[in-house]
Structure 1
Amino acid sequence: MTRPNIKVTDKAASTKILIGGFVMLAIAMGIARFSYTSILPFMQSQTNLSITEAGYLAASNNLGYLVAAFCAGIITFGERRSTHLRIQVGLCILTTGLMGVVSSFSWWMILRFIAGMSSGFIFVLASSLVLDALLADNRGKRIGIFYGGVGFGIALSGLLIPLFSLHSWRGGWIGLLVISIILVAFIWSYIQEPKKQHISLKGSDKESSIKESKLFPYLLVVYGLEGLGYIVSATFLVSYVKQVPNMDFFSDYSWIIVGVAAVPSTIFWSWCMGKMGYVKPLIIALILQAIGVILPVLVPNIVGVGLGSILFGGTFMGISMLAITAARALKPTGGSQAIAWMTGFFGIGQILGPIGAGFVMDATNSFSISLALAASVLVIAVIVMIVGSVMSKGKNPEKNAVQF
């Protein structure tokens, strides 16, 4: 699918699209996907959900995310992105709330799969729509605000879930349903296609995009490894902290810290990209995330868990923003497809992560080994990114990186 460049002519319209995208990511990712991390301990204690079953539920959600990502790369949405987004947002909110209504593990698996699919479609379509609007309107510095929606959703759900789940785990899911409905009501009219005019690509731009695509395969691998490495901590951090001696009281706060750190982090990494391109910030962010994943294991106290949560929250959405924006820059004539492929590889890692971690935890009765393995995967991602940068240097891989 070939997508022409788009020029947005109304900054007020692109601001509305940005706000709508921010809230959609908060609902689809911060609430519908990552709230599971905060609710999981309540479900484990009140429903006898095992670690392996918890891993399967996370994997089911990630499988749906993967399916949606690849489907989004195949389907031609054209001018119907906003319509599909509205449908997926509604489905995402509904399946989140139904988790608190049913009690069957089989139904939970189905609901998490559907919620994952809707989240995947929302992430790809909203990213495509918002990036088209902002970059074409020369407002690239605001991309970080858009991806900050995930952190906002995580922080919000992390604060509210302990209150909603005070009497039952069901309250967590149903409370999130109500909050999501309130949020989406404010931005429903903002889910719209940007006003645009089509401009054909110049010959030099086409040639440049072909050269730039040499780094794209490395980005795919790195983003897949990121999905595998980060998801273990993203799924089991709160459960891990709960079982650390004298740290149970801090478990909910650890996830809130992740969300709070994630909100401004994307703005910071946007600034870094403007100064250094996307390769160096990606490498730095991956290194910091690896430290953040392993630190709670090496230093199992408030300092270790708190700093680890800050490093993890301050990098995981920054890495996504850097990788997705870079992919769009490397494939300017196929932005939606590039985002879909990136999200698909990310989704593969997210499926393997929780299942593998669940088996390791059941076999060892410890979270530590799984978190150490996750950190190792992130180190491998750093190596791949460095190799990709060196191998692509002849093609000047950062020449046309998005500048802010």
Structure 2
Amino acid sequence: MIAGFVMLIIAMGIGRFSYTSILPLMQSQTHLTATESGYLAGSNNLGYLIAGFGAGFITWGNRRAHHLRIHLILCIISTGLMGITSSFIGWLFLRFIAGISSGLIYVLSSSLVMDALISYKREKWVGFFYGGVGTGIALTGLTTPFLSHFTWRGAWIGFFVVSLILTLPIWSYIHDAKPQPLSTNSASKHSLILPHSIFVWLLVAYGLEGLGYIVSATFLVAMVKQMPNISAFADFSWIVVGLAAVPSPLFWSWWASHASYIKPLITALILQALGVTMPIIMPNIIGVVIGSILFGGTFMGISMLSLAAARMVRQSNSNYAIALMTGFFGIGQIIGPIGAGFILEAAHSYSLALIISASVLALAVIILIFGTVILSKTELNCMSQSK
């Protein structure tokens, strides 16, 4: 579990989200435009989409650890090469490779760790494992100000070195465990609570989440850099996001164990929409802190709850269900930053992009509520007819 935790730090915190903290440096030192910034984020998200969607259709057998090691190396190398390359096309390619590798690391490490936890009847520990994402985000936020003294190149190369240091002690723990019969865990009771037809509503809502959350996940630090009087707080805002994300999987998994998945999911989406708009409602340090806490405390929870719910209602073909969910989520992640880049170029302000982002998240809430109400009425009708 600790090895998986560290791999999430490398793959997600560094491989994917370090771009958010380094972006302001690249914009100021390489004259990267908002549109180009969006394309780089979209390229990474496209790689992540291909990896997450494709992973559901690949039969890994007992070679998961082998592929995991390969993609861990690719993730680290592509991060370091970002600091050596000066070509925009080169950056697009490297971010694409980082997206593929980080996506496969996320899928394969989750698979290995979950198998181990289930084998030892420690399913409740999964929240600690997913805390690696928030830890990685906090780490990049803390480290970037120091690495920035060596320019944007030093930041990328510095994260390459950090990733190598983190990999060395866990390398020998990356291996395929002997297959164990899956035990019936407490989460299985939720499959009785959730009707199978909720999957379509979950699918659409999760796609909207990918579109809505990624704007803040890409441009938060750059936005705070441009806010009067608190620009020096920009890097700290990303640290707050990471710190809030560390314990969030534990909280949301605890609530889900007491209230199924839909109510916590709707609540998390509402809180995230509020968090996205807080820097607009309160354009000061308080608004940014509250927004960062709400955003960091929900995005991993939403992902975990959505995928867990999909897995429960499609137990007979869970790999396909998760791959489809990841595909819709990934499409949203690609459209989000590219569209936001065009909006930023036209409006010269982050406010409109964030308002649209929050509106998309609000639409996801409406869809889930609407779907739940329709399904509840359908079930009542079926019960009355059976009587």
Give the TM-score band, short-chain normalised: over 0.9
Q: Distance in 2 between matches of 1:58 and 1:291?
A: 23
Q: Residue deviations 1:327-350, cap 9 Å, x none?
A: 222222333333222222111000
Q: Which residue number in structure 1 is paired with residue 66 of structure 2? A: 83
- What code does the residue aligned with 2:347 have? T
Q: Where does residue 173 of structure 1 map in the other structure? A: 156
- Structure 2 partner of 1:244: 227
2:359 matches 1:376? yes
Matched, 1:149 2:129: no
SS of 1:39 mapped into structure 2: helix
Structure 1 residue 90 displacement after superposition: 0.9
Once the 2 structures are TM-superposed, how far is the Cα of residue 96 of structure 1 from its aligned partner?
A: 0.7
TM (norm. structure 1) is 0.88
- 1:252–1:195 Cα change, 3 Å: same
Change (3 A) 1:360 1:334: same
1:200 Cα deviation after fit: 11
Q: Which runs of 4+ in 1 moved over 4 A?
A: 198-201
Looking at structure 2, the residues matched to 167 and 189 of structure 1 have their Cα atoms a distance apart, in angstroms, of: 32
- Structure 2, unaligned runs of 5 or more: 381-387
> How far apart, in 1, do the equivalents of 2:248 and 2:9 lie?
15
What stretches of structure 1 of length at least 5 have no aligned partner? Answer: 1-17, 397-404
TM-score, length basis structure 2: 0.92
In structure 1, what residue type is equivalent to 2:270?
I
1:145 Cα offset (Å)? 1.0
Closer, same or farther: CA 20–331 of 1 in aligned 2, 3 Å: farther
* Matched position secondary structure for 1:244: coil
The residue identity in structure 2 corresponding to 1:156 is L
Give yes or no for contact 2:118–2:182 (8 Å, CA) kept in 1.
no
Residue number among 166, 169, 172 corresponding to 1:183 in the alignment? 166
CA contact (8 A) 1:124 1:336 kept: no
From the superposition, tell whether residues 199 and 160 of structure 1 become closer, same or farther in structure 2 (CA, over 3 Å). Answer: closer
CA separation of 1:378 and 1:199: change in aligned 2, threshold 3 A? closer
The CA distance in 2 between the partners of 1:99 and 1:235, in whole Å, is 17
User: What is the Cα-based RMSD across aligned positions, in Å?
Assistant: 2.0
* Alpha-carbon distance between aligned partners in 2 of 1:192 and 1:308, rounded to the nearest angstrom: 39
- C-alpha separation in 1, matches of 2:183 and 2:241: 42
Cα contact 2:119–2:183 (8 A) shared by 1: no
What is the distance in 2 between the residues matched to 1:127 and 1:334?
17
Letter in 2 for 1:312: F
Which of 85, 94, 103 is matched with 1:111 structurally?
A: 94
> 1:204-256 deviations in whole A, cap 9, x for unaligned?
x9xx78x8432222211111111100000000001111111111111111001
The Cα of 1:137 is off from its aligned counterpart by 3.6
Aligned amino acid, residue 183 of structure 1: L
CA distance in 1, matches of 2:108, 2:316: 16
Q: Which residue of 1 aligns with 2:36?
A: 53
What are the within-5 Å matches in structure 2 for residues 3-402 of structure 1?
A: 18-198=1-181, 212-393=195-376
Seq. identity, %: 62
Alpha-carbon separation, structure 2, partners of 1:168 and 1:199: 49
Classify 1:135/1:391 alpha carbon distance in 2 versus 1 (closer, same or farther; 3 Å).
farther
Rounded to whole Å, the distance in 2 between the matches of 1:65 and 1:98 is: 18
Q: Does structure 1 retain, via aligned residues, the 8 Å contact 2:127–2:249? A: yes
